[in-house]
A and B are shown apart, each in its own frame.
Chain A
Amino acid sequence: MFRNLYADTRSILLNRGFRFALAAIVSWQLLFLLFVWLIQTLFFKEALTAEDVGFSFSSVAVFLVTGSSLYISGDAFSSGCIRNKIISGARRTEVFLSAVCGGMFQGVMYSMLACVVSVMVSLLFTAGYMSYSIQEIAEYWIVITMACAAIGAFSTALVMSLGGNQLSYIIGFALAFLLNVVSARIVDKLYPADGLCALTGTKLAAYSFFDRFIPYSYFTATPHYGMGNYVSGCAGLILTSLAAGWMVFRKKELK
């Protein structure tokens, strides 16, 4: 199992898609900084605060983690690596677990890099955080990291259970897009800019459940629940992906 984990981690680190994603994170945060600085300077004529630029990663995180894990695990299928592992005697359970751990590893790495870049950008180019304490910022990044790991696990499990089919990419990206859109709408309904939340009954329960326990919604706003909710949500997605994905993958006929 550790041999598989080592091999998978190594192949992720050497994968062009992984390095491209890391470069994209850095580029995005710097471009966002430039864009916001221009808006603030030209239109609002105000100084830049860390709140304006420090959370830019969340707007691309879902897509980036989904895309990267789909690409890298899809690559493993199309190149025949999964087939080779099984031929050489590795158990399906180990192959699957190792791949999902790889997906989680990717999510964690992207989030950590984004955190480092965000801190550096905040220190070098802004007047600092005005509304958030260090503890709140740390909580935010912990939640984002857990959510990225959960999404990485889910996307990888999806590819493994569908056998690297094009359908897995479409489902992965479509879910990322739809949940992103739905999350924004839910947050808007639960915490409207003007007035109080008008939702009641089942709708309120459903919206609240989504906001609390679905990791895709954690990128829409800064943490506003206890850490336990976020841990449960991320763990729930990871365990569901592992269980459902493993049940499909162990019986799957590979070509």
Chain B
Amino acid sequence: MSLSPVEGVALAEIESPGDGDERREKEFVGRSPGQLAAARLRRDRTALVSGALLVFFVLVALAVPLIEALYGVGPKEQFQGRLDGYGMPLGYAGGVTGEHWFGLEPGLGRDIFIRMVHGLRTSLFIAFAAAVLTAVIGVTLGTLAGYLGGWLDTVINWITDLTLAMPFLIIALALMPTVALRFYGQREAVPAYFQIGVLIAIFALFGWTSTARLVRGQIIALREREFVEAARASGAGLGHMLFRQLLPNVWAPILVAFSLAVPQYITSEAALSFIGVGLTDETPSFGRMIYRSLDYLQTDPAYVFFPGITIFALVFAFNLFGDALRDALDPKSSR
């Protein structure tokens, strides 16, 4: 190999190509990996469309009182006058009119549109709250297990295996009323906020393990990287290692996991309500509406379509956005 002295070239090596004007404006401020990912996301058409759809859903959920005031119908109002003698809505497509955009429920005659708007709010609230809780627990335990290893790692791994072996739907199914019975009597009405709280808790209880496992794997892979060793060689403590060196490098998969957990919780909440253990009829919810619609598949098929298609669109948009986010954060994965 040649070792001819090439002093002076060292500084020349730094000059990166690019027009001078632009660089002077930017004043040597680099673009972080996060900023690069955001730029990629903005260029992705799927991400933009699904993102816009999600923003729309979230806005609707946030504006429920406003929508209700403008629409002029409450979720519990019954319009028996618009049902026929068998309790079926009059008119076409389940009683769709200018006043009742998505028609009326057979039997009780409540307005489907405003109940769905309320259901959307409940659904999104539960899903987001559960996803946040899951992420917090999963990231904390996963990081500790991955970085410290040892018995903590063994215990967390074992709990993860255990929760995977527990039939989630059936346990949740059995747990909901049990917990309710612990705090409320047999004949007492269980308030909606309590049911929502229990749902969120059950989701978090069963959901954190997958995030923990993901983060643990990432941390173990990072732990041996040289930049982590560099910090250790400089005498960094646990806090610095975790929060400055390791976690900033795993937020991308955490974000993707979060964005894909939300639709999962939407689905699970609907499923539990569908089975009849999540939310009761008092609280409007997609799952409950679809369950009720099963009795009317033959007589009022339109009833199942409005909540069915909405929940599909919601979950679809989340899944598409989650995928796009993954591609933007890890461009190699899609290539």
Do these two chains really belong together in a complex?
Answer: no
List A residues at the B interface (Cβ < 8 Å). Answer: none
